[in-house]
Amino acid sequence: MSIVSKLRSPVKPMVESRAILGSTGNRFKVTKTEMTKKPQQNPRVTKSPATEKPDSNFSASTDDTSSSSSSSERSSVKTTNSGKITPSKRNGVTKLNNVVVSVAAVEDINPKIPGPVKRCHWITPNSDPIYVLFHDEEWGVPVRDDKKLFELLVFSQALAEFSWPSILHKRDDFRKLFEEFDPSAIAQFTEKRLMALRVNGCLILSEQKLRAIVENAKSVLKVKQEFGSFSNYCWRFVNHKPLRNGYRYGRQVPVKSPKAEYISKDMMQRGFRCVGPTVIYSFLQASGIVNDHLTACYRYQECNIASEKEPKSPKTETKLVLHSPLLV
């Protein structure tokens, strides 16, 4: 054995400490030797041996790297004047590390956008705008004016020949030809005047419907003499309060009802023409005597509120008492 080999001290192999699973869960107990270990270098960054610092300056270098890394993390998130946080992107990856975002900041990033207004199912995105406007502002709103009620009665009769959008597009022509739906003026129309009710050379309605409108105007004048107004006559059938059916689905909405059949029969006995149960039910819906907006439609509650705010006149109560035997 040589002298050099005797002088060499035996090299003890370093035993790497391992993590111990303690009673506090997945937390590791780290020994002092691991705390003094040199952190692993980033594999993407290579240093030459000449540029490496000695071990004595190791603690200072770690402080520098930790401070630089924290500053880089802080700089990676930009805060605007409005309080919005804009994450930075590196290599296509969005980083938002070690940042506590307040609730107000989250609301600014994701504001609450109200959804579309819910209407009755027969109003679709492809519906005519004038029809949508009629649904949103008129259909189902309680009407107490005699001329307006007579206008809606005529429109309900015209539904046998036209659709609601077509009628609404011709509303100005209807009002001009029918003297703003004044029953006293329409009752004086002659046969020659009826044949002159044309739009672009064509009769605005069939001859049967035109003659029925004149006869109905005369019947309205008789009703006004008996009940004071055409409005009192119409509303007395529902005790002067709109009926709220509260249908949930469109398939539940009927085309006629027992109430409409009763009103239709009473009107025919008074000389009205072309006032079948289907026509009368459409008239009740349009005039707000019946609220047939679906419950999911935003207009259902608005029409209910509008009917509750209507003032009750003493004359209405008097007429109700005098003609109560006709109620159903």
Rounded to the nearest 10 degrees, the angle between the axes of helix 146-158 and helix 207-227 is: 150
Neighbours of 272 (CB within 10 A): 21
Please tell me whether 120 is known to bind a ligand. yes
Buried (b) or exposed (e) across 118-141, using 16+ Cβ within 10 A?
ebbeebeeeeeeebeebbbeebbb
Strands 290-291 and 243-244: parallel
| Strand, coil or helix: 225 | helix
Place of tokens 């100005």: 172
Detail the DSSP E strand segments found in 264-306: 290-291
- Taking CA atoms, 98 is separated from 71, 74, 82, 133, 163, in Å, by 12, 9, 21, 52, 63
Determine whether the annotation assigns residue 135 to a binding site.
Answer: yes
234 annotated as belonging to a binding site for a ligand: no
> What radius of gyration do the chain's Cα atoms show?
42
C-alpha–C-alpha distance, residues 108 and 128, integer Å: 37
Asked if 233 and 227 count as a contact pair (C-beta separation under 8 A), the reply is yes
Q: In residues, how long is the chain?
A: 328
297 is an annotated ligand-binding site residue: yes
Per 3-state DSSP, the chain is made up of helix, strand and coil in percentages (nearest 5) of 50, 5, 45
Query: Which residues belong to the annotated binding site for Zn(2+)?
Result: 120, 135, 293, 297
Question: Residues at the annotated binding site?
Answer: 120, 135, 293, 297
